[in-house]
Amino acid sequence: MIDSILRGLRQPEYVHVLLNPVPVYGLLIAWIGLIIAVVLKSRRAQLVTLVLVLLSSLSAWPVYEFGQQAYDRVLSMTDEDGERWLDEHQDRGEDLIWIFYALAVLSAAAIAVPIKWPKSSVPLVIAVILLGIAALGSGGYIAYAGGRIRHREFRNEPAPPKRPEHEHD
């Protein structure tokens, strides 16, 4: 069993699927916690949840990287509609990954900046909450296409148009 797990961890497509819930579900849990912390006016709870937002949004980086590495292998396993969904998933990830990076930077600032300027705490936390909404929406949008690559049962609409061959790189 351990050998099977270790073998899976050497496959980028497996690691991508293993980690891809973290930027969405982890961020959602942290985001809800941050809202509760704001309502309770607890700076300690805000710090804990800001760290969780930071870690969840940073987790988008390995998800993205392993997804890029897995493209060719997943492409070889899928049908024509799945290929089109794979391209759409990749395009969405490439276009929107920056939102997760911006959220990581903003949450780090919301942790550190109030140490020197305490009055910046509330505006920064509100900015994290608002950008968190955008990141959650983006993550859902990216995942929507990703779930249709190999799962025909989720394909309840036509596949996106086929991209020209030179755009796969």
Task: Give me the residue spans of the domains in the chain.
Answer: 2-168
Q: CA 59, CA 71: separation in Å to the nearest integer? A: 19
Convert the pLDDT of each residue in 92-108 to its tens digit. Answer: 999 999 999 999 999 99
Convert the pLDDT of each residue in 11-65 to its tens digit. Answer: 888 889 889 999 999 999 999 999 999 999 999 999 999 999 999 999 999 999 9
From the list 111, 123, 135, the residue with the least C-alpha distance to 58 is 135
From the list 65, 64, 59, the residue with the least C-alpha distance to 30 is 59
For residue 32, how many other CB atoms are within 10 A of its CB?
12
Confidence of residue 121 (pLDDT cuts 50, 70, 90): very high
3-state class (DSSP) for residue 49 = helix
All residues at 6 or more sequence positions from 167 whose CB lies less than 8 Å from its CB, including other chains:
87
By CB atoms closer than 10 A (0-12, 13-18, 19+), residue 146 is buried
Q: CA 100, CA 56: separation in Å to the nearest integer? A: 9
Residues 163 and 134 sit within 8 Å (Cβ to Cβ): no
Residue 150 has pLDDT above 80, yes or no: no
By CB atoms closer than 10 A (0-12, 13-18, 19+), residue 143 is middle
Q: CA 64, CA 104: separation in Å to the nearest integer? A: 15
3-state class (DSSP) for residue 112 = helix
pLDDT at residue number 168: 54
Give the orientation angle of helix 60-77 with respect to helix 12-19, to 10 degrees: 130
pLDDT at residue number 165: 64
pLDDT at residue number 157: 79
